[in-house]
Amino acid sequence: MPEHDDHEVLDPTLAAIVTMARRPVALGDAARARIELAIQAEAASGRPGRRHGWAWALEPRALRLSPLGAMAMAAGLVGIGIAMGLVGQARTLLVPRTATSAAITPSTVAPTLGAADPATSAVGGSTPSGVPVVSAGNRAQVKFVLFAPGASQVTVVGDFNRWSPTAHPMQRTQTGGTWTITVPLGAGRHEYSFVVDGKHWMPDPAAPLAADDGFGVANSVLLVSGSTS
Amino acid sequence: MTDAEYVNRVLAGDVDAFTTLVDRYYERCARFAVRMLGNRDDAEDALQATFVRAYRALDRYQDRDKFSAWLYRILVNQCRSLAARRSHRERVFVREEAALMNAPDLGANEGQLAGEGEEWVQRVLTELDPLLREAFLLKHVEELSYDEMSALTGASVSALKMRVKRACDRLRDRWEQIKDA
């Protein structure tokens, strides 16, 4: 039976309620990543003490996040511009949930290849062009990730599967709103997009490169390097 | 390293040190915000605003205060502000008797309580008056002393004791009401 410093002893009913209320609450990696983004934006504005300036944002750094958090952060870069635009104001900025909840992470490579995670490197600024260049041999295992909790079906389409909405259905992860698929891709430039619920085509909002598909709709672009890292 | 040492590192230009402070208090703050606000979206907003404000005001943080207490003060204020704004646009208090009638057996084993029990407790908490809920959570969930609560909320110890007692009475009554229905 819980007892507290002011000598209050709880009866069994209240003790049970307190026990349940004390259970940890998981807001998810995306929420944690958005806080990180907001702090980065704040730091980029020079606070506290106005010592850091833009140099901090441009400086490569390691971010201690889980893989999902890192990817969500990369997706959240869509919102960081908004955030940075707000930091000079007196109000508290919020990195919008839509910045990641509807966003897709940039492609990432299988860690066995030893290549840098573009999600992390893009944040750190260590990828000069910001383009997710995947170092691999003949074919790279490229993992596409979409955070779309409201979707019932998601597929990735691209020139690598002749834009077939049925060729590469993505799998919902156990964490809920995240969809993933790993696709082997040859070296070169690939255009891709996502199809949500079989009808909504959407480019990767976090992808640093986009290309007009010739019909006025932008596709996302992924570059796969032919060199082995 | 102590919180104060991390604060000094942040103020000296090591922004990553603030990440350590966020990591240290993220879970507790998340739990309080969700229990207080009743939904995760608002809780996330409150949490983000709290950490940003804390970062922004870090050079005004005084070592004589516990960092955790200082952070909690910001969090409590953020939750209050958010709840006040929200009350203008919607009432999120759960009134569905059907849901409450499905309250779990509080004497059940821990595994059974984990899912539906927690959800039910969240709903009953949300029914409480915000000031009672805040006092109950700070006292019994976050396990602060009344002196700490007083410093944090600005309310007197006697007022806080009364709020906690009323919250406990209402939670117990609510449980009895459901059990007898």
∠ CA B33-A45-B43 to the nearest 5 degrees? 10
Residue numbers of the domain that contains B113:
96-181
Phi, then psi, of A56 in degrees rounded to 5: -65, -40
* pLDDT of amino acid A175: 64
**Topology, domain A104-224:** Immunoglobulin-like (2.60.40)
Same domain membership, residue B85 and residue B140: no
Question: What is the DSSP secondary structure assignment for residue A92, as one 8-state letter?
Answer: P
* pLDDT band (50, 70, 90) for residue B136: very high
- Chain A's closest residue to B161, CA to CA, is A6
The reply to whether B87 and B1 lie within a common domain is yes
DSSP SS3 for A18? helix
Token pair 């696709």 is found at A183
B27 and B5 in a common domain:
yes
Segment holding A200, helix H or strand E: strand A200-202
Residues 142-171 of B with CB under 8 A from A: 143, 145-146, 161, 164, 168, 171
Mean pLDDT of the residues in chain B: 82
Q: Is the peptide bond preceding residue A208 cis, with omega within 30 degrees of 0? A: no
**Cα gap A218→A204, rounded to integer Å:** 9
The answer to ipTM > 0.85 is no
Which distant-in-sequence residues (6+ apart) come within 8 Å of A63 by Cβ?
A36, A70, A73, A120, A123, A124, B19
Are B140 and B177 members of one domain? yes
Of A20, A35, A64, the CB nearest to B51: A35
> Rounded to whole angstroms, what are the CA distances from A183 to A7, A87, A142, A209, B134?
60, 39, 5, 19, 49
Handedness of CA B26, A88, B56, A71 (dihedral sign): positive
CB-nearest partner of B35 from A5, A21, A31? A21
User: What pLDDT, in 10s, does the model give residues A179-229?
Assistant: 888 888 888 888 888 888 887 777 775 565 555 544 445 678 787 766 543
For residue A57, which of A46, A65, A71 has the smallest C-alpha distance?
A46
Q: Which of A14, A20, A36 sits opposite B118 (nearest CB)?
A: A20
Contact flag B52-A19 (C-beta cutoff 8 Å): no
Same domain, B33 and B84: yes
- My answer on whether B106 and B144 are in the same domain is yes
Q: B148-166 pLDDT, tens per residue?
A: 999 888 899 999 999 999 9
Q: Compare CB distances from B40 to A10, A20, A27 and report the shortest one's residue.
A: A27
A24–B168 C-beta distance less than 8 A: no
pTM of the full structure: 0.56
Contact between chains at B52 and A42 (C-beta distance less than 8 A): yes
Task: Give the other-Cβ count within 10 Å of A127's Cβ.
Answer: 17
**Pairing of the two strands A188-196 and A218-224:** antiparallel
Neighbouring CB atoms inside 10 A of A202's CB total 18
Residue B129 belongs to domain with CATH number = 1.10.10.10
Residues of chain A with C-beta less than 8 angstroms from the C-beta of B31: 22-25
Task: Specify whether B4 is located in the same domain as B87.
Answer: yes
Same domain? B20 vs B82: yes
Helix B3-11 to helix B16-37 angle, to the nearest 10 degrees? 120
**Domain identity same for B152 and B176:** yes
Between chains, do A36 and B139 touch, taking CB under 8 Å as contact? no
A 10 A CB-CB count for A128 gives 8
The total number of residues written for chain B in this structure:
181
Structural domains of chain B, count: 2
The sheet that has A139-147: what strands, in order across it?
Answer: A108-109, A139-147, A178-186, A171-172
pLDDT tens, residue by residue, B86-119 = 765 444 443 344 344 444 455 555 444 445 667 7
pLDDT at position B116 is: 61
Q: Number of A:B CB contacts under 8 A?
A: 134
For residues B109 and B48, state if they share a domain.
no
Q: How many other CB atoms are there within 10 angstroms of residue A211's CB atom?
A: 14
Does residue B48 sit at the A interface (CB-CB below 8 Å)?
yes
Give the pair of three-digit tokens for residue B34. 């969700």
The tens digit of pLDDT for each residue in B59-88 reads: 888 776 788 889 999 999 999 888 877 765
Q: What percent of chain B has pLDDT over 70?
A: 80
Domain end call among B48, B66, B92: B92
The reply to whether B144 and B127 lie within a common domain is: yes
Distance from CA of B94 to the nearest CA of A (A): 17
Is residue A44 a contact partner of residue A57, using CB atoms and an 8 Å limit? yes
Residue B36 and residue B81 share a domain: yes
pLDDT in tens, B6-62: 998 999 888 889 989 999 999 999 999 999 998 888 899 899 999 999 998 888 887
3-state helix, strand, coil in chain B (%, to 5): 80, 0, 20
Final residue in a domain of this structure, among B92, B123, B153? B92
Ranges under pLDDT 70 in chain A: 1-7, 45-138, 175-176, 205-218, 225-229
Distance between CA atoms of A60 and A101, rounded to whole angstroms? 26
Residue A176, exposed/middle/buried by CB under 10 A (0-12, 13-18, 19+)? exposed
Q: What is the CATH number of the domain that holds B53?
A: 1.10.1740.10
